[in-house]
Amino acid sequence: MTTRSTHSSTAPIKRPRTIQIDSNGRLRHFIAIEGLPKTILTEMLDIAESFVSVTAQDVKKVPLLRGRTICNLFFEPSTRTRTTFELAAKRLSADVLNINISASSSSKGETLLDMLRNLEAMHTDMFVVRHSSSGAAQFIASKVEPHISVINAGDGSHEHPTQAMLDMFTIRQHKPDFSALRVAIVGDLRHSRVARSQIHALNTLGVGELRVVAPRTLIPAGMERLGVQIYQNLEEGIRDVDVIIMLRLQRERMHGAFIPSEQEYFQLYGLTEARIALARPDVMVMHPGPINRGVEMDSAVADGKHSVILQQVSNGIAIRMAAMSMAMRSRADAKAEA
Amino acid sequence: MSPIHIQGGRLIDPANGIDAVTDLYLAEGVVAGVGKAPKGFKAETVIDATNKIVCPGLIDLAVHLREPGQEHKGTIASETAAAVANGITSVVCPPDTDPIVDTEAVVELILHQAKQSARAMVLPLGALTLGLAGEQLSEMYALKGAGVIGLSNAKRPLTNSLVLRRALEYAATHDMTVFIHANDPTLSGHGCVHEGPLATRLGLPGIPEAAETVAVARDLELIEQTGVRAHFCRLSTSRALNMIARARHDGLAVTCDVAVHHLYLTEVDIRDFDSACHLIPPLRSERDRDGLRDGLNRGTLDAICSDHQPHEPDAKQAPFAETAPGLSGLDTLLPLVVRLANEGVLSLSEALAKVTVSPADILGLKSGRLNTGAPADVCILDPQASWFVSAESMYSRGLNTPFKGWEMPARATQTLVGGRLVFDTRKE
């Protein structure tokens, strides 16, 4: 008799076997942090470390992906993320194709699968996918030809794994022992794909304590089952923490039914120098950007001595180079075995 | 209709409390005798039902036939053929076709098409409001005259409570049953899964249980005030069921049903964005599933249906939230009902009652039972015929099922509608 596994309502929800890993245990696609073992995350951080020196050289290129074609498939506009992926690919010597779909194929009624088939026929090796629907990158990964890798550049409110990994990379540069860390993630957890990826990454890397801080309207149901402690009070939430990760509040949601106003949000959840004093003296302040100054944090904090926000941006390229080279290496291994 | 003798089967007729190995005699489209042949009965056909179960044909309260308007997904011919291949002899089809069932002409079109091609009885529901838009009442009296079995606004919620109240009053005027999908659209929003830990993990917009319970609370008040005969469709939460039980305890005569998949699957089955599990109402928590099973056991849930919604493959090939909701359910209704009995949730007779006499009573039909004079709608099933759900083993045109790969414990072998043998596995 075939049976389906079910979980009791209090047990953590386990992720099923991931399509991200190949038969050799290597990263095949990079869709989500959840489901990946610590070894892969650590390896990605180590490889990124080696790429940091590349970006500091006069000639900022390595020939790892020479002759490969990487397609940035963006169903949702994003200049910043697309640019860092493009730069990362070019520094690996790959050819890059940028396709902005909202403006082209989808409006002509082509289906997603038809478009993929067409791009595959152009001998693409990798898709970097940004999409407004959760699960889009997973769907594309499940449909592409076996020699193609997919990297998720943000899907709906699901995950944004490279962003989370560059955050982990930045944390590790300052505080290498994750088990000794107390981290607080503050803000719009309901809609944030970055936060979900950060939570999985921090838990997998063995963070000492992980807190999320927000009003109840911005914390989705059952969030504690992702392995976090929930705080509604910012002062309590950031007391004695080593890292504060602020999330971006999307202005279009500000006057909806989630929070009454930017002013009240800043009053209750805005990061100020006075509040930072509650955290550890060497606390790191992070933000995935772009910052709403005076809403999520004071300018003095954003530009202050605790802020590592610009460092996060620089690290983004090294992490994306690492993710791309790891996924492509899995492809090369598969070809060699065949 | 030639006389048929079904011999040696285990006859289960929940309506009449029969569960015994005995013979059944059919003639002139009705049951002519049970256990004993009527005087002068001469069978033209004898069906050997040894080691099989003989029960009333199943009545499915929710089958989207897709015709008119979406024939690429299914047709009256294709889906009623799938129904009878699975022991289902009557299907209720919702009014959200294209065009919508809000005029006599569309009712006549469906009934005409059913007469031409259908193997099962097709029982259309008429639209409660014009165009299902929730603004203006449909011509209920005319729809009744054309042959609808009841009224419904399908899954399009009525946000205007005054329009709902008037619609219920007008339906009561014409002694028509209203089939209600309880959903507060402002609470369900753009949700596509149950609001809970899985929705949070996958970053999918959730539908809270309150979207159902808030609507049930409002609708119960209006049902009581208008005195309409009402039936709640596809309840998915344990709390809503408790509200119905309380209302009944207070004397309100409402009925309700559940889709059979809600008795087996939970939000966890969505796993990594499995679009086969994109359903409305969504798969809920384990607590809800257990509560629904409990509601069956306690008798709060009157009926079980398939909520059959066949789709073409492309409709499920997209990121989860962008896929069409619904599953193809005709092929799994009967075996999953038998499995409920195998799992001890109900006795086999009680389980079969939920798909035979109980929906018949809700619809005011004479079928769903096998006493002398009842319509000769019969399902003969092999309770040992275990089979695996696959594209090859399904009869529906829609292959969108989350039960793919499941082993099923029973299968229909013969089906008779109005005394006519419309499906016989020996001839397949």
Tell me the one-letter amino acid at B228: V
CA distance B393 to B428: 12
B388 interaction partners in chain A (CB closer than 8 Å): 2
- CB pair distance less than 8 Å for A222 and B268: no
- Nearest chain A residue to B388 by CA distance is A2
Sign of CA dihedral B318, B319, B325, B329: positive
- Nearest chain B residue to A135 by CA distance is B319
β-strand partners of A121 = none
> Percent of chain A beyond pLDDT 90?
70
The predicted-structure confidence for A125-150, as pLDDT tens digits, reads as follows 999 999 999 999 999 999 999 899 99
Q: Rounded to a whole number, what is the distance in Å from the CA of B278 to chain A's nearest CA?
A: 13
Could you tell me if A62 and A52 are in contact, meaning their C-beta atoms sit under 8 angstroms apart? no
Q: Is A227 on the interface with B (CB under 8 A)?
A: no
Q: End-to-end distance of chain A based on CA atoms, in angstroms?
A: 37
Question: Which residues in chain B show pLDDT less than 70?
Answer: 1, 427-428
pLDDT at A8 exceeding the cut of 50:
no
Size of interface A-B (CB pairs under 8 A): 105
CA distance B180 to B161: 13
Q: Rounded to a whole number, what is the distance in Å from the CA of A112 to chain B's nearest CA?
A: 7
pLDDT at A7 exceeding the cut of 50:
no
Could you tell me if A330 and A26 are in contact, meaning their C-beta atoms sit under 8 angstroms apart? yes
Could you tell me if A244 and A238 are in contact, meaning their C-beta atoms sit under 8 angstroms apart? yes
Q: Rounded to a whole number, what is the distance in Å from the CA of B156 to chain A's nearest CA?
A: 23
pLDDT at A14 exceeding the cut of 90:
no
State residue A112's pLDDT score: 82
DSSP symbols for B410-428: -EEEEEEETTEEEEEGGG-
- CB pair distance less than 8 Å for A157 and B203: yes
CA distances to A37, A151, B193, B202 from A20, in Å: 11, 10, 24, 16
pLDDT at A318 exceeding the cut of 80:
yes
State residue A2's pLDDT score: 36
Where do we find the tokens 């039980």?
B245
Q: Rounded to a whole number, what is the distance in Å from the CA of B271 to chain A's nearest CA?
A: 7
For residue B61, the number of C-alpha atoms closer than 13 Å in the C-beta half-sphere is: 36
Candidates B116, B80, B115, B109; CA nearest to B95 is B109
Q: Is A156 on the interface with B (CB under 8 A)?
A: yes
- CB pair distance less than 8 Å for A159 and B203: yes
State residue A6's pLDDT score: 37
Higher pLDDT, residue B389 or A258 = B389
**How many C-beta atoms surround the C-beta of residue B127 within 10 A?**
29
Of B202, B318, B388, which has the smallest distance from its Cβ to A158's Cβ?
B202
Q: Chain A, 89-118: which have a CB under 8 Å from a chain B CB? A: 111-113
Q: Catalogue the E-assigned strands of chain A.
A: 69-74, 95-100, 126-131, 149-155, 182-186, 209-213, 229-231, 243-246, 284-286
- CB pair distance less than 8 Å for B268 and A7: yes
The predicted-structure confidence for A85-118, as pLDDT tens digits, reads as follows 999 999 999 999 998 887 555 555 567 888 888 8
- CB pair distance less than 8 Å for A4 and B287: no
Could you tell me if A292 and A254 are in contact, meaning their C-beta atoms sit under 8 angstroms apart? no
- CB pair distance less than 8 Å for A9 and B407: no
**Which of A3, A5, A10, A13 best probes binding to B when mutated, by most B CB atoms within 10 angstroms?**
A13
Q: Is A278 left (phi over 0), alpha (psi -120 to 50) or beta?
A: alpha
CA distance B36 to B39: 9
Contacts of A14 (CB under 8 A, 6+ apart): A7
**ipTM of the modeled complex:** 0.89
Could you tell me if B399 and B391 are in contact, meaning their C-beta atoms sit under 8 angstroms apart? yes
- CB pair distance less than 8 Å for B204 and A156: yes
Tell me the one-letter amino acid at B272: D
- CB pair distance less than 8 Å for B199 and A155: no
Of A19, A158, A221, which has the smallest distance from its Cβ to B195's Cβ?
A221
- CB pair distance less than 8 Å for A196 and B197: no
Of B204, B285, B405, which has the smallest distance from its Cβ to A2's Cβ?
B405
Could you tell me if A249 and A295 are in contact, meaning their C-beta atoms sit under 8 angstroms apart? yes
- Mean pLDDT of all residues in chain A? 89
β-strand partners of A271 = A297
- CB pair distance less than 8 Å for B273 and A134: yes
Candidates B79, B86, B92, B93; CA nearest to B55 is B86
Omega of the bond leading into B68 within 30 degrees of 0 (cis): yes
Q: Is A61 on the interface with B (CB under 8 A)?
A: no
At residue A23, the 3 state secondary structure works out as coil
Q: End-to-end distance of chain B based on CA atoms, in angstroms?
A: 22
CA distance A152 to A170: 20
Q: Is B41 on the interface with A (CB under 8 A)?
A: no
State residue A5's pLDDT score: 36
Q: Rounded to the nearest 10 degrees, what angle do helices B104-117 and B76-84 cross at?
A: 50
Candidates B188, B129, B189, B186; CA nearest to B159 is B186
Omega of the bond leading into B185 within 30 degrees of 0 (cis): no
**Lowest-pLDDT choice from A154-163, A249-258, B134-143:** A249-258
Q: Is B321 on the interface with A (CB under 8 A)?
A: yes
At residue B262, the 3 state secondary structure works out as helix
Q: Rounded to the nearest 10 degrees, what angle do helices A161-174 and A193-204 cross at?
A: 50
- CB pair distance less than 8 Å for A13 and B201: yes
Element (H, E) at B197: helix B197-202
- Nearest chain B residue to A136 by CA distance is B319
Could you tell me if B309 and B328 are in contact, meaning their C-beta atoms sit under 8 angstroms apart? yes
Element (H, E) at A323: helix A309-337
At residue B127, the 3 state secondary structure works out as strand
- Nearest chain B residue to A11 by CA distance is B197
**How many C-beta atoms surround the C-beta of residue A233 within 10 A?**
12
Of B268, B321, B407, which has the smallest distance from its Cβ to A134's Cβ?
B321
Could you tell me if A65 and A324 are in contact, meaning their C-beta atoms sit under 8 angstroms apart? yes
- At residue A304, φ and ψ (nearest 5 deg) are -80, -175
State residue A289's pLDDT score: 83
pLDDT bracket for residue A10 (50, 70, 90): very low
Contacts of B293 (CB under 8 A, 6+ apart): B263, B340, B345
Give catalytic residue positions of B: 307
Q: Chain B, 361-390: which have a CB under 8 Å from a chain A CB? A: 388
Provide Rg for chain A, Cα atoms: 20
Tell me the one-letter amino acid at A45: L
Q: Is B248 on the interface with A (CB under 8 A)?
A: no
